[in-house]
């Protein structure tokens, strides 16, 4: 497949690239990047990041940064991006692509009424809402309008960001806030291509947690039924769809596009 937004000399940053959907995004996107492209992978698990990195084409310059995004400061984030840039300047790239994929479910055992601890809320939002907003700002400061680099921002969102689910108040509110941040960013920055991609139910650790630990019994049954019916997607299926969506460009910048959406017409 050829995806113009991912061709040529690209600077690609993927968060949560150590496993699951982020690992697949990295592997699939990497096959499309031109010679001399730079890839920066961020997550906590150093060895798993290295494993992802080792699978990528040798024509790419691949960097990994093991860091906890829930506590990383803007300066630390800027530092890892600058290290990956090395002696090159932002203007030397044709495209700059950032994929905000890292995320967590939080405690899925409790109803909203029992979520009474400020510290838990703050920690959850630090990773899932504040960190992508700050990293995005850092990235846009380096790859700014003056660099004339074509910029693509993909936020990995969820159906839970637009549809409430019992026992998932941390996750649903986090996804909704994060998605709205990128919608505001999109209208403020019409030169940047922004996609909020909802990947569908995908076989990763996250799905397993929902099947085993979701507090709401009906919801838990639904996730187990999806698995039993064979409807859980592979990471490859959902990322192939993402690449198709990026290739077709039938969305408006900032839109929420789901794996299952029909993408024939611009609305
Ligand atoms: N799977 C699904 O069905 C599904 C459906 C809709 C949306 N999504 C979204 O897809 C994205 C990826 O999820 P997944 O299913 O691939 O889950 P996953 O396998 O649990 O992967 C989560 C990724 O986020 C990283 N991460 C978590 N906490 C982090 C932290 N504090 N600092 C840095 N990195 C951190 C993890 O890396 P480390 O542990 O190495 O830090 C891992 O690479 C998430 O945003 C999720 O909400 C998933």
* Cβ of 65 below 6 Å from ligand 1: no
Q: Is 92 domain-assigned? A: yes
Q: What is the pLDDT of residue 267?
A: 44
Q: What is the pLDDT of residues 188-217, one digit of tens each?
A: 999 999 999 999 999 999 999 999 999 999
Q: Is 109 domain-assigned? A: yes
If one residue of 18, 20, 27 were mutated to test the ligand 1 pocket, choosing by the most ligand atoms within 8 A of its CB, it would be 20
CATH number of 243's domain: 3.40.50.720
Supply 19's token pair: 């496993």
Q: Is 22 domain-assigned? A: yes
Q: Is 211 domain-assigned? A: no
Cα(87) to centroid of ligand 1, in Å?
Answer: 31
pLDDT higher than 70, residue 222: yes
Q: What is the pLDDT of residues 2-33, one digit of tens each?
A: 999 999 999 999 999 999 999 999 999 999 99
- Per residue, the 3-state secondary structure of 237-260, as one string, reads HHHHHHHHHHHHCCCCCCCEEECC
Cα(215) to centroid of ligand 1, in Å?
Answer: 20
Q: Is 162 domain-assigned? A: yes
Domain ranges, residue 20? 4-202+234-258
Q: What is the pLDDT of residues 132-189, one digit of tens each?
A: 999 999 999 999 999 999 999 999 999 999 999 999 999 999 999 999 999 999 999 9
Tell me if the pTM is above 0.85. Answer: yes
Q: What is the pLDDT of residue 265?
A: 42
Number of domains in the chain: 1
Question: Closest Cα to residue 258, out of 203, 182, 200, 204?
Answer: 200
Cα(146) to centroid of ligand 1, in Å?
Answer: 33
For 171-211, the DSSP string reads HHHHHHHHHHHHHHHHHH-TTSEEEEEE--SBSSHHHHHHH
Supply 220's token pair: 């838990």
CA 104 to each of CA 4, 74, 132, 138, 150: distance values in angstroms, whole numbers, following the listed order: 31, 20, 13, 22, 30
Q: Is 160 domain-assigned? A: yes
C-beta of residue 59 within 8 angstroms of C-beta of residue 39: no
């Amino acid at each position: 497949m050829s995806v113009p937004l991912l061709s040529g000399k690209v600077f690609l940053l993927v968060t949560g690239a150590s496993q699951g959907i982020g690992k697949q995004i990295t592997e699939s996107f990497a096959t499309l990047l031109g010679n001399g492209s730079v890839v920066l992978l961020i997550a906590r698990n150093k060895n798993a990041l290295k494993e992802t990195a080792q699978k990528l084409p040798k024509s790419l310059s691949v960097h990994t940064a093991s860091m906890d995004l829930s506590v990383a400061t803007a300066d630390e984030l800027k530092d890892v991006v600058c290290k990956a840039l090395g002696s090159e300047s932002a203007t030397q790239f044709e495209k700059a692509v950032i994929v905000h994929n890292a995320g967590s479910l939080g405690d899925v055992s409790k109803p909203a009424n029992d979520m009474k601890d400020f510290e838990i809320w703050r920690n959850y939002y630090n990773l899932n809402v504040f960190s992508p907003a700050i990293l995005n700002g850092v990235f846009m400061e380096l790859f700014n309008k003056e660099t004339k680099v074509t910029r693509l921002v993909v936020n990995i969102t969820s159906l839970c960001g637009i549809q409430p689910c019992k026992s998932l108040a941390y996750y649903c509110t986090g996804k909704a806030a994060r998605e709205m941040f990128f919608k505001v960013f999109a209208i403020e920055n019409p030169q940047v291509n922004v996609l909020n991609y909802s990947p569908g139910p995908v076989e990763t650790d996250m799905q397993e947690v929902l099947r085993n630990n979701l507090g709401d019994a009906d919801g838990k049954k639904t996730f187990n039924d999806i698995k039993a019916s064979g409807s859980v997607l592979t990471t490859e299926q959902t990322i192939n769809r993402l690449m198709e969506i990026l290739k077709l460009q039938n969305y408006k910048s900032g839109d929420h596009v789901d794996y299952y959406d029909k993408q024939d017409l611009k609305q």
